[in-house]
């Protein structure tokens, strides 16, 4: 059965990239199929072990989910560490995945930097935990930003290897089913996940450098629009955003080789729900001095209600905690069933 899982790390402030690349899509996916959205606190400690306020950051992501329109009656909202199946299945996947697969991950290379020997083992194994997050719910669809593409390919590789390595035991236990792999239908236990990386905002870039993605960890606050920014901060950051001296082209093809212009037009399109071409029908031939104020107005009117609601929700942490607890219970029911199946397939005795 189709099912969505996705998550966000409770590290630092959420930014426009997280909102457009992930959260806004989560809200839309609720209309399509059953969804689970988690706050991945186990992932949060991979790069920096001691976090200043992990509980507060976790509540903030949950508040953003709710404020953006994820309905806790329809979708399951929870924090990852509550459901033990994530860590349990990740261990099994650590034995399925190969060290070489992990060493090739660009996110690991970026985050570990030059001193790789000193990175945590958790940072290296991050994609294995991410595969477990998805597959412990046998999720078929994962809406994410473009930066997560490589990790999702690895999730597919883990599912394929598990299905192959245990094919006889999957058969014997009768736990196998039809699994769709592109056009092909094979027999296996884990589904082969489809990433959902679509729309005009799969990779929002830094406002200061069109070659770098907008990121929580960028030392320059001017590089990103935070979900907590007020109208003045948004206006200041957009005004200072790097651009080139030319007027906007009249169609999207004209944005090639102009990364900063492409980024700002992409942001406008994602916020307004239009294509880049539609945006350029309106703004083609105009200077940035005219386009930027329109972008500020749109960003403020789109994000304002979400940030306002987030602040209101964060005034009542008890409510957020109750949502996470109830979500954790629902998630655990699904995850526990998968873990029983997986243990049966491997041959581990359990209750």
Longest dimension (CA), the chain: 69
Known catalytic residue: 111?
A: yes
Site string for ligand AQP, 8-47 (x = CB under 6 A): xx-x-----xx--xx-------------------------
- The C-alpha atoms of residue 2 and residue 191 are separated, in whole angstroms, by 10
The reply to whether 3 sits near ligand AQP by the rule CB under 6 A is no
Is 11 marked as binding a ligand? yes
Three-class SS state of 77: strand
The reply to whether 127 sits near ligand AQP by the rule CB under 6 A is no
Minimum distance from residue 103 beta carbon to ligand AQP (Å): 19
Which residue in the set 103, 106, 164, 217 belongs to the binding site for ligand AQP (CB under 6 A)?
A: 217
Number of residues that bind ligand AQP (CB under 6 A): 18
Structural contact between residues 43 and 9, judged by C-beta atoms closer than 8 angstroms: yes
Identify the CA nearest to 148 among candidates 335, 6, 4, 3.
6
Burial of 231 (0-12, 13-18, 19+ CB in 10 A): middle
Of 216, 286, 337, 343, the catalytic one is 216
The reply to whether 266 sits near ligand AQP by the rule CB under 6 A is no
Identify the CA nearest to 134 among candidates 108, 111, 147, 153.
153
| E strands present in 87-243 | 141-143, 177-181, 184-188, 194-196
Minimum distance from residue 266 beta carbon to ligand AQP (Å): 10
Is 328 marked as binding a ligand? no
Instruction: Using the minimum distance from each CB to ligand AQP, give the nearer residue, 111 or 138.
Output: 111
The reply to whether 80 sits near ligand AQP by the rule CB under 6 A is no
- The C-alpha atoms of residue 203 and residue 281 are separated, in whole angstroms, by 22
Is 216 marked as binding a ligand? yes
- The C-alpha atoms of residue 262 and residue 210 are separated, in whole angstroms, by 9
Which residue in the set 86, 138, 151, 213 belongs to the binding site for ligand AQP (CB under 6 A)?
A: 213
Instruction: Using the minimum distance from each CB to ligand AQP, give the nearer residue, 223 or 332.
Output: 223
Record the tokens describing residue 98, joined without a space: 């190969």
User: What does the DSSP 8-state code read for residue 226?
Assistant: B
Is 7 marked as binding a ligand? no
What's the Rg (C-alpha) of the chain?
Answer: 21
Contacting residues toward ligand AQP, per CB under 6 A: 8-9, 11, 17-18, 21-22, 144-145, 147-148, 203-204, 213-217
Q: Name the residues annotated as catalytic.
A: 111, 213, 216
Query: Which parts are annotated binding residues for ATP?
Result: 9-11, 17-18, 145-147, 204, 213-217
Binding-site residue positions for L-tryptophan: 133
């Amino acid at each position: 059965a189709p099912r969505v899982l996705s998550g966000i790390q409770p590290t630092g402030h959420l930014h426009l990239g997280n909102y457009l690349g992930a959260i806004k899509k989560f809200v839309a996916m609720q209309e399509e199929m059953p969804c689970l959205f988690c706050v991945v606190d186990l992932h949060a400690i991979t790069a920096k072990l001691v976090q200043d306020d992990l509980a507060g950051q976790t509540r903030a992501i949950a508040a953003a989910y709710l404020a953006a329109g994820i309905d806790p009656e329809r979708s399951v909202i929870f924090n990852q560490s509550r459901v033990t199946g994530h860590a349990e299945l990740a261990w099994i996947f650590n034995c399925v995945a190969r060290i070489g697969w992990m060493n090739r991950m660009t996110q690991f290379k970026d985050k570990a930097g030059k001193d790789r020997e000193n990175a945590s083992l958790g940072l290296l194994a991050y994609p294995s935990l991410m595969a477990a997050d998805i597959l412990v719910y046998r999720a078929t669809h994962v809406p994410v930003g473009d930066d997560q593409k490589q990790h999702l390919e690895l999730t597919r590789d883990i599912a394929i290897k598990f299905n192959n390595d245990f094919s006889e035991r999957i058969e014997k236990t009768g736990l196998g089913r039809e699994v769709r792999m592109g056009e092909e239908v094979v027999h296996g236990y884990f589904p082969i996940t489809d990433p959902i990386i679509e729309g005009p905002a799969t990779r929002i870039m830094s406002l200061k450098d069109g070659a770098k993605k907008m990121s929580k960890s960028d030392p320059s606050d001017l590089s990103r629009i935070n979900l907590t920014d007020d109208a003045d901060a948004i206006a200041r950051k957009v005004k200072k955003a790097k651009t080139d001296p030319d007027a906007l082209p009249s169609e999207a093809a004209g944005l090639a080789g102009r990364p900063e212009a492409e980024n700002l037009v992409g942001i406008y399109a994602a916020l307004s729900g239009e294509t880049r071409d539609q945006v350029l029908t309106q703004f083609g031939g105009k200077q940035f001095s005219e386009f930027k104020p329109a972008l500020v107005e749109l960003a403020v009117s789109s994000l304002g209600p979400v940030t306002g609601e987030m602040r209101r929700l964060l005034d009542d942490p008890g409510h957020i905690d109750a949502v996470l607890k109830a979500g954790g219970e629902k998630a655990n029911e699904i995850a526990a069933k998968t873990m029983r199946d997986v243990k049966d397939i491997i041959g581990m005795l359990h209750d």
